[in-house]
Structure 1
Amino acid sequence: MFKSILVPLDGSPLAATILPKVVELAKTCNAQVTLVHVCHTEAFGMGETTPGVMAAAPAAEKKACEAFLNQAANELKGQGVDVSATCVEGVPAREIIAFADKNKNDLIAMATHGRGEVAWVLGSTAEKVVSHATVPVLLFRVMEFKPPLLKEEFFL
């Protein structure tokens, strides 16, 4: 079925909640897993903009990205999954699709963040990947738990 699964992660604990399901899928299919994080360096430039800060920002993000991905990869390896990890630079949806095509991944498995209707109006990375990927995309809906508002709290 699937032999090479691409798992884009954004560095958030919410996105990483799909990893147990990815492990299950990879073991069932005897598939290799590639974890990828896209450093969206165009986002830098807010606040302090000295040349030193501008040069250090992408390097700092890449270092944090590598640490996060290595930790996630080690957890998967510990569960018997053949896994690799890499960081790439660019616009997330575009880079995820290009990476899958270039590396001949036959499935992209990623989280949706469940941020509500605003994400659909503005367009999310997951929606763009689903719309433009040339391989199947498996989306895991994950939502941040928010306790219900109690009546007593609402009227205080």
Structure 2
Amino acid sequence: MYDRILVPTDGESMDRVYDHALDIASQRGATVHLLYVVDDRAFLTLDERMRDDVLAELESEGASATTSATDRFAAADVETVTATARGDPADEILAYAEANDVDLVVMGTRRRNYRESMVGSVSQKVIARSDAPVLTVGLADEE
């Protein structure tokens, strides 16, 4: 049932998410797809050179995050596929899941303040729009 598991990562505080995905993947012989999305919407007003530098830095962080996660899954003999995308995180996660026929999305969620909850979190948007089941794992609160 779960052959392809998508784990969107931002590289921060993802241990609990990885633990859940690893448990499911190792029991099912599933491949874990690790996706890092560079949210480039906030940088559209920056000077082009500055924007390029910021995006390059974020892409580097994404490569580091997916490499670190890949190492963790490889240590447990779980096959991984890595990818980086640019754009709205929820849209990119959903597009990747559809394009790769993902069976399950395992992602983190954080407690948000009232204002952020009114706008909606990435995990809320993915849950509402995903064709695949979505397992959300609470991350450490950011106080």
Q: Same fold (TM over 0.5)?
A: yes
Match of 1:85 in 2: 82
How far apart in 2 are the matches of 1:145 and 1:123?
A: 17
Amino acid at match of 2:95: A
Bigger mean CA deviation after superposition, 121-130 or 110-119: 110-119
Q: Is the 8 A contact 2:9 2:65 kept in 1?
A: no
Structure 1 residue 51 displacement after superposition: 3.1
Partner of 1:107: 104
1:110-131 C-alpha deviation (Å, 9 max, x unpaired) = 1111235444322000000000
In the alignment, structure 1 residue 7 sits paired with structure 2 residue 4: no
Matched to 1:21, the amino acid is: H
Judge conservation of contact 2:7–2:34 (CA < 8 Å) in 1: yes
Match of 1:55 among 37, 41, 52: 52
Tell me the matched-pair count. 143
4+ residue runs over 3 A deviation: 116-119
Taking structure 1 as reference, are residues 117 and 5 closer, same or farther at Cα in structure 2, changes over 3 Å only? Answer: same
Instruction: Indicate whether 1:132 and 2:104 are aligned.
Output: no
Q: Does 1:122 align with 2:119?
A: yes
For residues 40-66 of structure 1, give each alpha carbon's deviation from its aligned partner in whole angstroms, at most 9, with x where no partner exists: 1111257xx443212222112111110
Deviations 1:72-97 (A, max 9, x none): 11111011111121110110001100
TM-score (norm 2): 0.90
| Higher Rg of the two aligned structures | 1
Q: 1:32: which partner in 2?
A: 31
Give TM-score scaled by structure 1 length: 0.83
Q: Choose which of 81, 88, 96 in structure 1 pairs with 2:93.
A: 96
Unmatched 5+ stretches in structure 2 = none
- State the Cα RMSD in Å: 1.8
1 CA distance for matches of 2:11 and 2:40? 14
What CA distance in whole angstroms lies between the structure 1 residues aligned with 2:24 and 2:9? 17
Structure 1: state its 5+ residue gaps: 147-156
Say which is worse superposed, 114-123 or 61-70, in terms of deviation: 114-123
